[in-house]
Structure 1
Amino acid sequence: MASQLRQGNAKLFSLSQGKAKPFPTEKIGQRILDSDVTYEDLSLRFLYWKDATIMGQEKIKMQQCHKIRLVNPTNDGRYSIVYAWVHQKFGALMQVTGYNRDGKLLKRFHITDIMEVNKVQTIKKMNIETYKPGSNKVIGITYLEFTKPKKLGL
């Protein structure tokens, strides 16, 4: 999977024999390898939806964050509305919640550790909780850990 992410536009592509083809929209919300993570989750494409609105400020893990509301501009994927909490000082993603078209909570992402890559704060460790729609019951949790990219030797 590859992505082309621009403000207001997030396109996913699959790579086959070195060629990029548009990623099938029906697969965007599918789980990867029987985990709680979907292609939509892994790409974080909702961060690039246009017309984001800052809803205010809230604390996440004792850290002051901007609460941002993002609305899906298409019918692709499982999320209709996403809320993201971004650290005010470092600009790092702290938490994300995703809701379906009926306003029911589907997922909650907890960023538990961050790292610096090329002078930018990014995700190092993250837990993704899947909820039974219409309840606060967690029905699955996946833990992700990312490593810094390695420099290619020439």
Structure 2
Amino acid sequence: PPEKATEIQATLEVFEKDGKRNTSSLLIEATSISPKKWCVTYKARSKVGVIDLWRICHSIGEANRYEHNERLAKPSEIHKGLADSAFTLSDLGMEFLYWPSQIVLKTQRRKSRLCYVLESRNPNPSNGEHHRVVSWVDQKTGGILLADLYNASPKPVKRFSVKGLTKKNGRWQVDEMEMRDMKSRARSRLQFHLK
């Protein structure tokens, strides 16, 4: 859980294959509910000026709770792109880390960092869910630097990567991350405006 309530301004850019670029402003709020429960809220202004609100509530030892506009999110909304991007609620909630099958395949360097290569397998993927995720987890920080997300196909359908890190008060913070849709070739970039 976050040590204190945090508010971060962010920009979400979607770059389509045809060269079009869509930009949304996001406000991200992280709040601690208890020592074992915290919520992260994403507020985005839609194309028509309406504010959309997504919330992921994490509880240690329990599945994530997903909300959309102050109500429990439907399963289809959990796998829908946040502000029309490639980032879904389930991706941002790192749902794959809750799957029962977690195997460390090897250690490998990524982005000049020594990482555990972790394979997460979904035992019962439903429509829209990933079947497996292979992620590169930084050994020192525990942060995910890169992840390939798969459906039934042997090739990844999406690729997540951390694009920028900033060291603040002795701690590394992500200031930019990207999700690529391997089929459509669109990419979504989330930039955090850290103070």
User: What TM-score results when the alignment is normalised by the length of structure 2?
Assistant: 0.60
Q: Does 1:14 align with 2:60?
A: no
Q: Is contact 2:121–2:131 with CA below 8 Å preserved after alignment?
A: yes
Decide whether aligned partners of structure 1 residues 83 and 113 sit closer, same or farther in structure 2, where only a CA change above 3 A counts.
same
- Paired residue for 2:95, among 45, 65, 74? 45
Percentage of identical aligned residues: 24
Match of 2:146 in 1: 95
**8 A contact 1:9–1:50 mirrored in 2:** no
Query: Offset of 1:50 from its aligned partner?
Result: 3.1
The answer (yes or no) to whether the contact 1:46–1:82 under 8 Å persists in 2 is yes
Cα displacement string for residues 59-110 of structure 1 (whole angstroms, at most 9, x for unaligned residues): 1122211001111244344311011101112222110110003333111111
Structure 1's unaligned 5+ residue stretches are 133-137
| 1:47-126 alignment runs, 5 A limit | 47-76=97-126, 77-115=128-166, 121-126=172-177
Greater relative contact order, per chain length (Cα 8 Å cut-off, separation 6+): 2
Considering only aligned residues, what root-mean-square deviation do their CA atoms show, in Å? 2.7
2:74 alignment partner in structure 1: 24
**Residue in 1 aligned with 2:56?**
3
Number of aligned residue pairs: 140
1:35, 1:142 within 8 Å by CA — same for their partners in 2? Answer: yes
TM-score normalized by the length of structure 1: 0.74
Structure 1 residues 110 and 74: alpha-carbon distance in aligned structure 2, compared to 1, 3 A threshold: same
Q: 1:117, 1:80 → 2: CA distance?
A: 36
Q: Does 1:143 align with 2:189?
A: yes
